């Protein structure tokens, strides 16, 4: 009985065997429609190559750092939305939740003289309260998430006007907040960050293998662990090396990894750990795949849905923090326009709108694709309208790929 329970708590790793066995199994899954983030990765590469050819400024140290900071806000919001999209739900209020909580934060600091740490904690608790409110009406009362969050999307804009005032604007005066998006790590810290990433990845992989061994479950070949570490080392080394070069235009050198990068990676790792290696994460996928089957299996569906909205709103606060750090101010329109881009980031990255399929990394990749489009078109001095058209086209294409791949995998286009 103990072995059965331990086995049930492990991550399913699919077909075991050699590296070639794993490669063939992956190709088989792709042919059956389980492409994950593969289209988004392909799009990212194609777009990067295209903009590198069209603009001499795209593949430079300065623009690369700008691209990472521009994408950070959308990456965080996209990851927040993954928790509810995996359930087949939506949170249209996530963007204005980020804006409203930042309005509260800046007023507490600038007007009421609160310590910025206390004000940030209040903002985060406000995000928890908002998520709890949404979760209650969606999970307990049974109102569709679209309706509840659309109502909050409209209502929170009114609260922002009340707090900030029509046409009002507050500047962010906290150096620690401003440094998140506008300052860089020392060069040595960037390489130390890469070493920590490698160590954490290795430790996590070996821990997973040890758990499977204790439970008597077959492990994949150890070569896959070394391949993954090698990929992280190569890509991470290129990124850190590129950002370690001086990208300043004046007398003062500017170099190093932006501070926002390790913060985002830490949250990405923590969220991925929760979804991949905890009961809560497995239950989210189960409820998103088939809520009724999950309920009959003993999953507390109401609690899972409720908690997912709390996590989403809380991470939306972090996204708002990134935004005000980048912009340096908060106005009454904060967060109004970003939520649909967050949904687009998740869908473009391969998170299924039908629920039950996707990962936080997919949303991060999708956000990078959208950031590349925005950044590249900006460098080409094309009108803003072109950006919306291209992004919309990419979103429709990604949603189509999701729907077609779901049918090919044996699913349906209707929720169960």
Within a domain: 215:
no
State the CB neighbour count (10 A cutoff) for residue 175: 10
> Which pLDDT belongs to residue 98?
94
The answer to whether residue 170 is domain-embedded is yes
- Average pLDDT over every residue of 184-213: 92
pLDDT at 9 over 50: no
Cα gap 290→287, rounded to integer Å = 5
For 102-139, how does the pLDDT look when each residue is reduced to its tens digit (9 = 90+)? 999 999 999 898 999 999 999 999 999 999 999 999 99
Contact 102, 399 (CB under 8 A): no
pLDDT in tens, 49-100: 888 898 888 888 888 889 999 899 999 999 999 999 999 999 999 999 999 9
Output the 3-class SS for the chain. Answer: CHHHHHHHCCCCCCCCCCHHHHHHHHHHHHHCCCCCCHHHHHHHHHHHHHHHHHCCCCCCHHHHHHHHHHHHHHHHHHHHHHHHHCCCCCCCCHHHHHHHHHHHHHHHHHCCCCCHHHHHHHHHHHHHHHHHHHHHHHHHHCCCHHHHHHHHHHHHHHHHHHHHCCCCEEECCCHHHHHHHHCECCHHHHHHHHHHHHHHHHHHHHHHHHHHHHCCCCCCCCHHHHHHHHHHHHHHHHHHHHHCCCCCCCCCCCCCCECHHHHHHHHHHHHHHHHHHCHHHHHHHHHHHCHHHHHHCCCCHHHHHHHHHHHHHHHHHHHHHHHHHHHCEEECCCCCCCHHHHHHHHHHHCCCCCCCCCCHHHHHHHHHHHHHHHHHHHHCCCCHHHHHHHHHHHHHHHHHHHHHHHHHCCCCCCCC
Q: What angle, rounded to 10 degrees, do the helices at 384-408 and 339-349 form?
A: 40
Please work out, in degrees rounded to the nearest 5, the angle formed at the alpha carbon of residue 193 by the alpha carbons of 191 and 199. Answer: 105
Is it the case that residue 414 has pLDDT exceeding 60? no
Residue 412 confidence (pLDDT) above 60: no
Does the residue 265 lie in any domain? no
395 compared with 198, residue with greater pLDDT:
198
Q: Which two tokens stand for residue 100?
A: 């409203």
pLDDT score for 32: 63
Count: domains in the chain: 1
Confidence of residue 411 (pLDDT cuts 50, 70, 90): low
Domain presence at residue 299: yes
CATH of the domain at 163: 1.10.3470
Q: Cα-atom radius of gyration of the chain, to the nearest Å?
A: 22
More confident residue, 303 or 249: 303
- Nearest-angstrom CA–CA distance, 354 and 411: 10
Owning domain of residue 387 = 56-183+286-408
CA distance 186 to 182: 13
CB atoms within 10 A of CB 50: 13
Report residue 48 CA to chain centroid gap.
Answer: 20
Closest CA to 90 of 342, 395, 378, 297: 342
Instruction: Name the pairing type of β-strands 169-171 and 329-331.
Output: antiparallel
Tokens of 134: 């949404």
Residue 204 in any domain: the answer is no
**Confidence check: pLDDT of 258 > 60:** yes
How far, CA to CA in Å, does 109 sit from each of 129, 162, 175, 200, 360? 20, 17, 12, 36, 32
pTM of the model: 0.88
Percent of the chain with pLDDT over 70: 89
Six-digit token string for 319 = 């996204």
Residue 368 maps to a domain: yes
pLDDT recorded at residue 17: 64
Q: Would you state the pLDDT for residue 134?
A: 96
Percent of the chain exceeding pLDDT 90 equals 50
In a domain, 227, yes or no: no
pLDDT at residue number 14: 44
- Residue 19 belongs to some domain of the structure: no
- pLDDT for 297-354, tens place per residue? 888 999 999 999 999 999 999 999 999 999 999 988 888 888 888 888 888 888 888 8
Nearest to 93 by CA among 31, 25, 153: 153
């Amino acid at each position: 009985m103990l072995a059965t329970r331990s086995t049930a708590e492990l991550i399913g790793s699919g077909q075991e065997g050699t590296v070639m066995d794993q490669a063939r199994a992956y190709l088989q899954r792709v042919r059956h429609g389980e492409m994950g983030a593969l289209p988004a990765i392909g799009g990212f590469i194609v777009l990067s190559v295209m903009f590198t050819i069209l603009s001499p400024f795209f593949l430079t140290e300065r623009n690369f750092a700008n691209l990472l900071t521009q994408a950070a806000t959308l990456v965080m919001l996209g990851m927040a939305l993954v928790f509810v999209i995996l359930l087949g739900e939506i949170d249209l209020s996530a963007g204005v939740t980020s804006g409203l909580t930042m309005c509260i934060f800046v007023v507490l600091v600038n007007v009421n003289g609160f310590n910025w740490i206390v004000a940030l904690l209040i903002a985060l608790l406000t995000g928890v309260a908002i998520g709890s409110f949404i979760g209650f009406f969606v999970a307990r009362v049974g109102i569709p998430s679209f309706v509840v969050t659309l109502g909050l999307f409209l209502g929170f804009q009114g609260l922002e006007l009340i707090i900030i005032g029509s046409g009002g604007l507050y500047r962010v005066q906290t150096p620690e907040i401003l440094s998140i998006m506008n300052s860089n790590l020392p060069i040595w810290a960037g390489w130390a960050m890469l070493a920590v990433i490698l160590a954490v990845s290795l430790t996590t992989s070996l821990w997973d293998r040890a758990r499977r061994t204790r439970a008597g479950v077959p492990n994949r070949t150890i070569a896959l662990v070394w391949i993954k570490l090698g990929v992280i080392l190569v890509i991470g080394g290129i990124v850190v090396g590129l950002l370690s070069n001086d990208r300043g235009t004046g007398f003062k050198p500017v170099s190093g990894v932006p501070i926002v990068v390790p913060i985002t990676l830490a949250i990405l790792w923590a969220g991925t750990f929760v979804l991949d290696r905890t009961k809560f994460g497995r239950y989210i996928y189960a409820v998103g795949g088939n809520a009724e089957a999950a309920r009959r299996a003993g999953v507390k569906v109401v609690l899972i849905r409720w908690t997912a909205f709390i996590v989403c709103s809380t991470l939306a606060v972090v996204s708002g923090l990134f935004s005000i750090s980048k912009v340096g101010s908060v106005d009454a329109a904060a967060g109004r326009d970003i939520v649909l881009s967050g949904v687009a980031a998740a869908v473009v990255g391969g998170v299924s709108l039908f629920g039950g399929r996707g990962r936080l990394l997919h949303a991060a990749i999708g956000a990078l694709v959208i950031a590349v489009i925005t950044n590249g078109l900006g460098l080409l001095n094309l009108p803003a309208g072109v950006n919306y058209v291209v992004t919309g086209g990419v979103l429709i294409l990604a949603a189509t790929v999701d729907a077609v791949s779901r049918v090919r995998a044996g699913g349906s286009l209707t929720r169960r």
